[in-house]
Amino acid sequence: MGAFVARDEELRTTLAAVVARRGTAIVGPPGVGRTALLSAVARRLTTSRFEVVWTAATQASRQVPFGAFRSVLGACDRLDDHQAYGALHTELFRRAGARIPVLVIDDAHRLDDRGAALALGLAAEGVVRLMVAARSQSACPADPPVSDAVVALWKDGYLERLDLAAFGRVGTQQLIRSLAGGPVAQATVDCLHQWTGGNPLLLTELVRHARVSRHLVAEGGLWRWRGPLTVPPRLAELFDHELNRLSPADHDTLAAVALGEPLPLPSWKPSPPASPDASKTWRAKGCCTPSTGRGASSWCAWGSRCWAPPCVGACPAAATPTGRRTP
Ligand SMILES: Nc1ncnc2c1ncn2[C@@H]1O[C@H](COP(=O)(O)OP(=O)(O)OP(=O)(O)O)[C@@H](O)[C@H]1O
Ligand SMILES: [Mg+2]
């Protein structure tokens, strides 16, 4: 990873919550920089005082009881809740010795219920510091529900919740400057900010790809964007992964909307066998969103609360085979 930029305030409050209180829960939409912030805080915790143990939950670990803590506990799926809590507690303090144990749980929205209850138990006991990162549920309505115990971590006041937002123009400028290695023309900053919504993941992938493809060039001492805005292959792959969660019928409909959008509402008919109330379901899944920007109601593909920027809207269109684009 390159330099960590534009999060001074967030870094300060998060670090203070871990050093002086029970810890922090960093919540935000995909790609907003939760993992990067966790790492930045962990790097700043003095090793003579704190022992950091890093875990991350995944879709696969969610299928196994306490799956996210396997790296700490070893095979633990046969333990009962009490034994698992004791084993985790003992192992964290064994590793810490005379220091304070800090348990990092990245992607905690994917914790299984029993694993989440362990985290809540630790937060309530308050002797292990916790640093938790989770996707905000409201930003990702299509994701499986987050365990109640994860929500209770901040709702019941154990951890201090920090809502991480995308970069504004200043943060965008700092990130591009850091990735490009020099000052950037303001028009380029404005354009990339609009295209990515200030999302650090989108910005990082876009700028890295643009350096290689020479869409970002140094002219007169400033980095400037030259050429069309496109979707880097690595981002297209990432969104393919998200699109794979759709049924074939929904996939086809999304491709149609992506190629034709914005479509007037009356002309938008889900392809069979999509259900009659597919438009409602789609909105709930975050795949489409009604837009009234151009005088008439229309559907903008993938313009969701989850991944709102135009850059992402271009993904389904880019992923649709060219042959299907000709009438
Ligand atoms: N403050 C920052 N400074 C520099 N780079 C950053 C910053 N925040 C995020 N990034 C970069 O943006 C990209 C996405 O960040 P990160 O993986 O932390 O996001 P996330 O919210 O954890 O995403 P996900 O939803 O995939 O878990 C990474 O390449 C990361 O290095
Ligand atoms: Mg992450």
Res. 142 pLDDT band, cuts 50 70 90: low
> Residues 192, 193, 196, 198: is their CA dihedral positive or negative?
positive
- Is the shortest distance between the CB of 33 and ligand 1 below 6 Å? yes
Res. 310: pLDDT tops 90:
no
Rg (CA), the chain: 22
The crossing angle, in degrees rounded to 10, of helices 310-319 and 186-196 is 60
- 2 in a domain, yes or no? no
User: Sheet containing 263-264: which strands, arranged edge to edge?
Assistant: 263-264, 298-301, 288-291
- Is the shortest distance between the CB of 110 and ligand 1 below 6 Å? no
Expressed in angstroms, the distance from the first to the final Cα of the chain is 44
Whether residue 298 sits in one domain with residue 240: yes
Res. 207: pLDDT tops 50:
yes
CA 135 to ligand 1: nearest atom:
25
Mean pLDDT confidence for 138-147 = 74
What was the pLDDT predicted at 112?
A: 96
The crossing angle, in degrees rounded to 10, of helices 113-125 and 148-155 is 20
What was the pLDDT predicted at 55?
A: 98
Q: In total, how many domains does the chain have? A: 3
> Which of the two residues, 74 and 284, has the higher pLDDT score?
74
Whether residue 80 sits in one domain with residue 193: no
Res. 245: pLDDT tops 70:
no
Compute the distance from residue 16 Cα to the ligand 2 centre, in Å: 21
What was the pLDDT predicted at 201?
A: 92
CA 6 to ligand 1: nearest atom:
1
What was the pLDDT predicted at 23?
A: 98
> Which of the two residues, 264 and 150, has the higher pLDDT score?
150
What was the pLDDT predicted at 16?
A: 98
- Is the shortest distance between the CB of 32 and ligand 1 below 6 Å? yes
Compute the distance from residue 107 Cα to the ligand 2 centre, in Å: 6
What confidence tens digit (pLDDT) does each residue in 75-106 have?
Answer: 877 889 999 999 999 999 999 999 999 999 99
- Is the shortest distance between the CB of 198 and ligand 1 below 6 Å? no
DSSP letters, 274-311, are S-TTHHHHHHHHTSEEEE-TTSS-EEEET--SSS-SHH
Whether residue 159 sits in one domain with residue 13: yes
Whether residue 16 sits in one domain with residue 114: yes
Whether residue 283 sits in one domain with residue 192: no
Compute the distance from residue 220 Cα to the ligand 2 centre, in Å: 37
Whether residue 78 sits in one domain with residue 27: yes
Q: Where are the alpha helices (DSSP H) in the chain?
A: 8-20, 34-44, 70-73, 81-96, 113-125, 148-155, 169-180, 186-196, 200-213, 233-243, 248-260, 278-285, 310-319
Compute the distance from residue 69 Cα to the ligand 2 centre, in Å: 17
Which residue range is the domain that position 208 belongs to? Answer: 169-225
What is the C-alpha to C-alpha distance for residues 302 and 240, in angstroms, rounded to an integer?
Answer: 12
Res. 238 pLDDT band, cuts 50 70 90: confident
- 1 in a domain, yes or no? no
- Whether the ω angle into residue 183 lies within 30 degrees of 0, i.e. cis, is no
Kind plus residue range of the DSSP H or E element containing 132 = strand 129-135
Whether residue 142 sits in one domain with residue 33: yes
Write out 222-275 in H/E/C secondary structure.
EEEECCCCCCCHHHHHHHHHHHCCCCHHHHHHHHHHHHHCCEEHHHCCCCCCCC
Give the closest ligand to the alpha carbon of residue 7.
1
Report helix, strand or coil for 107.
Answer: coil
- Whether the ω angle into residue 273 lies within 30 degrees of 0, i.e. cis, is yes
Can you give the CATH number for the domain in which 107 is found? 3.40.50.300
- 146 in a domain, yes or no? yes
